[in-house]
Chain A
Amino acid sequence: MGRLFLEIVTPEKIVVSQEVDSVVAPGTDGEFGVLPGHIHFLTGIVPGELRYNAGAGKESMAVTTGFAEVSNDKVSILVDAAEKTSEIDAERARQAMERARERLRKDKRTEDVDHLRAEAALRRAVMRIRVVEKAI
């Protein structure tokens, strides 16, 4: 059986670029799985958990919005941010969530850059926590 080539790219860097056996990702219309020989496929990605198997190893990642393209056994996932679950520190994510909530409570100027950053931080933290808790 052939193998898939998985590429996860964010604007900051290429997060994953390796051969894998299968990929499961959170699509706009629900979670979808990709195996070698998959049809050419395009879909949106929503924030959630992305999993892939490579040999005996399993890997899980937290991703934000973006989209995915499957063509010729190559899976390209373009998202705003992606992190390996094993690299997420649950405690830190929880603290970040508290901090962001606190800041949003105090600061009501919605147009401010800091406010936007806090909002984004909160979204990220919540998603991380969700993915980590599922993994444990």
Chain B
Amino acid sequence: MATLRDILRKIGAVKKTQQITKAMNMVAAAKLRTTQGRMENFKPYAGKFAEVLGNLASGIDPEIHPLLVKKEEVSRVELLHFTADRGLCGSFNVNTVNAAQKWIKGQQDNGRDCSLTLVGKKGRDFFRKQGANITESHIQIYGKIDISFINQMARGFIARYLSDEIDEVHMIYTRFISMAKQEPTLVKLIPIEPPQRESETEKTAAEYLCEPSAEELLIELLPKHISVQIYNAFLQNEVSEHAARMSAMDNATKNCSEIVENLTLTYNKARQAAITAELMDIVGGAEAIKKA
């Protein structure tokens, strides 16, 4: 059985771990608030954008732009995959990596080549070890991204799509549903499927005066549409990461309390046993003297 001092030392260690997890929880909470704020600020832009694009696209023949046309033969697909830069956020990274692996396997079973664009250190490390075909990886850019970086990224995909280097672009990111639920989500980036109009009462492109023509305007908006989606994925993924870390650290803190409780119980029992043993010794000794 562990000695009293061993148990005490263990209690101290667990308490220190608890302090760390508690601090990480609070840091995650603070970061969550700021990223959530950014996500909220982005919503009006994204909403308005989808509305206008939907209105514009509804009256227009998809043949006008190659980004809207599905390629007949798809042999090479690109996946934009988001993970966190850091661990200690529960099953966050595992879930999204599993989702990506499953998707890649599905594509390969259909005889398609997969290449990856990775955001986040965890994903990069994993897929590099796997020997996957990595086009590009970005690490430690969460919180530093701005719209011009995203535009650049979108332009890269579009250029490679138009030069037939890749035939489809998808992305997997973790969507933030609630504090307790975040879900890996697959989105098809290219070819673009324009957002559906929500109601029939809205105006169609024909009712707008467009400058230049509706077609030209749409062509200008399509690359932006991809940027908007990527930006959204960045924000959602970041918020999800912090939410996941927060709940993971909350659990860890609770588990620490439980362990400390159990250890304290063991410690008290051991102490009582030691006292009892000592008393027995004394009583036994006294008995022996009396007899003698």
Chain A residues within CB distance 8 Å of chain B: 9-14, 27-29, 32, 39-44, 66-67, 69, 71, 76, 78, 80-81, 113, 116-117, 119-120
Contact = CB atoms under 8 A, between A and B. Distances in A.
Interface string B205-240: 101111110100100110010001001000000000
Interface of B: 38, 41-42, 44-45, 48-49, 52, 56, 138, 141, 146-149, 151-152, 203, 205, 207-212, 214, 217, 220-221, 224, 228, 231
Given A12-B38, A113-B149, A116-B152, A43 B44 contact: no
Contacts of A66: 224
Contacts of A42: 52, 56, 205, 208-211, 214, 217
Given A42-B52, A66-B224, 15 more contacts: A9-B44, A10-B45, A11-B41, A11-B42, A13-B41, A40-B208, A41-B211, A42-B56, A42-B209, A43-B211, A67-B52, A69-B48, A80-B147, A117-B146, A120-B149
B45 A120 contact: no
A113 B138 contact: yes
Nearest to A32: B211
Contact of A41 (B42, B208, B221): B208
Contacts, number: 84
B217 A67 contact: yes
A41 B45 contact: no
7 tightest Cβ-Cβ pairs between the two chains A and B: A120-B148, A43-B211, A13-B41, A40-B208, A42-B208, A80-B147, A9-B45
Tell me the dominant secondary structure on chain B's binding face: helix
Nearest to A67: B221
B149 A69 contact: no
Contacts of B44: 9, 14
A32 to B, nearest CB: 7
B280 to A, nearest CB: 73
A115 B181 CA distance: 37
B217 A120 contact: no
Given A44-B217, A117-B149, A120-B146, A78 B211 contact: no
Contacts of A71: 203, 208
A39 B210 CA distance: 10
A112 to B, nearest CB: 11
Contacts of A67: 52, 217, 220-221, 224
Given A43-B217, A44-B217, A28 B208 contact: no
Contacts of A27: 211
27 contacts: A9-B45, A10-B147, A11-B45, A12-B147, A27-B211, A28-B220, A41-B208, A41-B211, A42-B56, A42-B205, A42-B211, A42-B214, A43-B210, A44-B211, A66-B224, A67-B217, A67-B224, A69-B52, A76-B52, A78-B49, A80-B147, A80-B151, A81-B147, A113-B138, A116-B152, A117-B146, A117-B149
